Amino acid sequence: MIEIRDLSLTYQGPKGPVHALNGINLKIESGEVFGIIGRSGAGKSSLVRCLNLLNRPSGGQVLVGGRDLMQLGDAGLRAARRDIGMVFQHFNLLSSRTVWGNVAFPLELAGMSRQEIAKRIDPLIELVGLGALSDRYPAQISGGQKQRVGIARALASQPKVLLSDEATSALDPETTRAILDLLRQVNRELGVTVVLITHQMQVIKQIADRVAVIDGGQIAEMGPVLEVFTRPRQTITRSLIDEIVPQQLPDSVMTRVRELKRQLVPGQAGQLLRLSYAGESAYQPILSHLIRELGLDLSILHGQIDEIQEQTFGSLAVYASGDAARIEAALQHLRAVGVQVQTVPGEA
């Protein structure tokens, strides 16, 4: 559906050229929800605006539905953009128009008759849950409702792709969840490919199928969301998922580890383990196996469990004490059943 090849974007800043994007390569499949996440200034908004050429790249290719947008003239680009809807952070609604009028506006510009517009717009307004508010003006509705208007307006031209540029960052957490649920509904019921730009891993976690992490104008990491959450390879990725799966243990846990270490009897070994698990490994009785079969004492010190795309994932901090050889056997068993194991140095 969307393919980016060796994309670059350079613009002139107050202190000279700014290289916003450098060598971006990615492919977004038809019908998926694809997330692009990064810190402020990483280049994510620059990238999403290259997908419809609101930002014209300095080099590379932008292919949407097999068409290279960089090779299109003005008329061809206008036609291509009708297949690419966009939802903005700050709504960008016309204050003098009602909810219905805002959604209908792009179709009026396209020259459609009012009857044709109504036939298309009325179901959209119902889809986004604003059927009872169609005659209200933007000043009379909430922020979440304004964003629903923005989504309906972006869908009015029946696009194949919907770009969401930080569409929930100005909303409270409850409203954010509702808007993300709506975007997933749009994706599933209308078959629209959704591209999410965000700086929040919670947004990615809720609805994205795959995610690309952008840092310094380059793709640092990319893959299925569950894999990226449970096996982050890059420092920037680990820092971003820290809000979902904390990468550092609290001081209180480390204090407890030192207490357990002092309690070891002669001949016993101890090791603090960080366990990360996902999918089937989350349902296996792995800790009871280590206690029963290997005779280890296990103290669960910290942990959490969550779900992504209907798959369970989580992490545990466990202090294992017992025979050193059996602790090593436990590490091998955990890895064999698909659990990611990190031994915390300095605490053995």
In the chain, the domains with their CATH numbers are 2-241 (3.40.50.300), 251-343 (3.30.70.260)
Strands 193-198 and 33-37: parallel
pLDDT of 149:
96
The H-assigned helical ranges of the chain are 44-50, 74-81, 99-109, 114-127, 143-155, 173-190, 201-207, 225-230, 235-241, 251-262, 286-294, 324-336
CB 212 within 8 Å of CB 26: yes
**Tell me: the pLDDT tens digits for 235-287?**
999 899 887 777 778 888 889 999 999 999 988 999 999 888 877 666 778 88
The CA–CA distances, whole Å, from 225 to 31, 52, 204, 344 equal: 16, 25, 8, 25
Report the C-alpha gap between 13 and 61 in whole angstroms. Answer: 24
Per-residue pLDDT band for 27 (boundaries 50, 70, 90) equals: very high
The CA–CA distances, whole Å, from 254 to 103, 268, 272, 303, 321 equal: 55, 19, 9, 14, 15
Report the C-alpha gap between 1 and 28 in whole angstroms. Answer: 6
Report the C-alpha gap between 153 and 100 in whole angstroms. Answer: 9
Closest CA to 24 of 1, 43, 38, 52: 43
Closest CA to 222 of 36, 3, 22, 2: 36
Query: Mean pLDDT, to the nearest integer, of 177-193?
Result: 94
- Of 55-69, 151-165, 244-258, the one with minimum mean pLDDT is 244-258
Query: Mean pLDDT, to the nearest integer, of 90-110?
Result: 93
Res 347 pLDDT > 70: no
Report the C-alpha gap between 62 and 68 in whole angstroms. Answer: 5
pLDDT of 282:
65
pLDDT of 146:
95
Per-residue pLDDT band for 309 (boundaries 50, 70, 90) equals: confident
CB 182 within 8 Å of CB 151: yes
CB 138 within 8 Å of CB 149: yes
Closest CA to 189 of 265, 95, 143, 123: 123
Long-range CB contacts (within 8 A, 24+) of 63-66: 63/2, 63/3, 63/4, 63/5, 64/1, 64/2, 64/161, 65/1, 65/160
* Per-residue tokens: 297: 């004492």
pLDDT of 348:
42
